[in-house]
Structure 1
Amino acid sequence: MRSIREARPTSADLAAIEAEWPLIEAELSVLDAEIALINAADQGGPSPLDWRRLRRAEARVTRVAAELATRPAARKAVA
C-alpha cells in the first residue's frame, strides 16, 4: 500500500498537467457544449447556436492539440 506522500503528484507531474492544461480546458469546453445539446433535446432540440458552439469547441481542441504537439517541451514530457 502506498503512503500518502507517495500518492501525491510530484513536481514533474504537476508541470506536465500545467503544460497540458490548455488542452484539458478545450476538452472541457467540448463537454460543456455536448451537455448543452443534450439539455436542448428536452426543449425542442438544439439551436444552430448550440451546434456552432460544439463545432467551435471541437476546432479549439484540434488547434490546441496541434500547438502542444509542436512544442519541444511537450515532446520531452511524453518521451
Structure 2
Amino acid sequence: MRPHRTEPTPKALAAIETEWPLIEAELSVLDAEIILMYAADHGGPSPLDWRRLRRAEARVTRVAAELAARPASRKAVA
C-alpha cells in the first residue's frame, strides 16, 4: 500500500501553473456572477455589471483557445 500524499506532486503543480491563466479567468466570471446576484437584490445590475460579465466570459474563451493552441509537448504537463 502506498503512503497517502498530502502535497501535490511536481507534475500536478506544473499542470496548475500551466492552467492558471484559465483558472484566473474563470474566477473573474465567478466574481462577475456574484456581483450580478448581489445587484439583483439591490435594484438590479447596471450596464457596467453586465459588461464586466461579458468581458470575463470573453476572457475565458480567449485563454482557453490560447491553451488549446499550445504545442502538444507543453500540454502533456496538464
With normalisation by structure 1, the TM-score equals 0.88
In structure 2, C-alpha distance between the alignment counterparts of 1:52 and 1:32, rounded to whole Å: 13
Q: Name the count of aligned residue pairs.
A: 76
SS of the equivalent of 1:7 reads coil
- CA–CA distance in structure 2, aligned partners of residues 13 and 24 of structure 1: 14
Q: 1:2 to 1:44 in 2, by over 3 A?
A: farther
Q: Which amino acid aligns with 2:56?
A: A
Query: What is the aligned partner in structure 2 of residue 77 from structure 1?
Result: 77
Q: CA RMSD in A?
A: 1.6
Structure 2 gap ranges (5+): none
Matched, 1:17 2:5: no
The answer to which structure has the higher helix fraction is 1
Q: Distance in 2 between matches of 1:3 and 1:40?
A: 48
- In the superposition, the TM-score normalised over structure 2's length comes to 0.89
Unpaired segments ≥5 residues, structure 1:
none
TM-superposition CA deviations, 1:8-65 (whole Å, max 9, x none): 2110100000000000000000000000000001111000000000000000000000
- Asked if residue 7 in structure 1 is aligned to residue 6 in structure 2, the reply is yes
Deviation at 1:2, TM superposition (A): 6.1
* Greater relative contact order (CA < 8 Å, ≥ 6 in sequence): 2
Paired residues for 1:1-79 under 5 Å:
3-4=3-4, 6-72=5-71, 73-74=74-75, 76-78=76-78
